[in-house]
Each structure stands twice: as structure tokens, then as C-alpha cells.
Amino acid sequence: MPDRQPKDDVPETAAQRRARRAQFLRDLMEARELRDRVQPRRARAARMRQQMRMRTFRW
């Protein structure tokens, strides 16, 4: 597993961490969209399950 800190052991700044997190979230959304296009039936079932969870959720 790669080391999370840069090689010179300088801790990353909050801005660097946010940028890295934003990139990760963009990649994750892209992967989900691709999976939804490739497996439409599974994606539809997942949406239905999510809707059911939201309907039964109590605030």
C-alpha cells in the first residue's frame, strides 16, 4: 500500500486533502455512472431500494 505522506514527510495541507478527496469523489461518481449504464436492471433495483429506505425513514 502506498505511503500517504509525501516522500519528504511534510504533512499535507487541508487544501491538498480536499482536492484529493474531491478527485476521489469524482472518480467514484464516474464509476457508479458507468456501472449503472452497464447494468441497468441492477441500477434500477438499487434505486427502488433507496426509495423504499427513504420512504420508511423517520426524521
Its domain, for residue 47, covers: 14-54
DSSP string, the chain: ---SS-TT-PPPPHHHHHHHHHHHHHHHHHHHHHHHHH-HHHHHHHHHHHHHHHHH---
Residue 8 lies in a domain: no
pLDDT of residue 30: 96
pLDDT band per the 50, 70, 90 thresholds, residue 6 = low
- Given a cut of 90, whether residue 22 has pLDDT beyond it is yes
Domain count, the chain: 1
Please state which of the ranges 8-12, 29-33, 38-42, 45-49 shows the lowest mean pLDDT: 8-12
| Domain assignment of residue 44, yes or no | yes
- Interval 38-58: pLDDT, tens: 988 988 998 999 999 999 877
pLDDT of residue 7: 64
- Is 42 domain-assigned? yes
Scored b (16 or more CB within 10 A) or e, 6-31 reads: eeeeeeeeeeeeeeeeeeeeeeeeee
Within-domain flag for 18:
yes
Q: Examine residue 25 and state whether it is found in any structural domain, yes or no.
A: yes
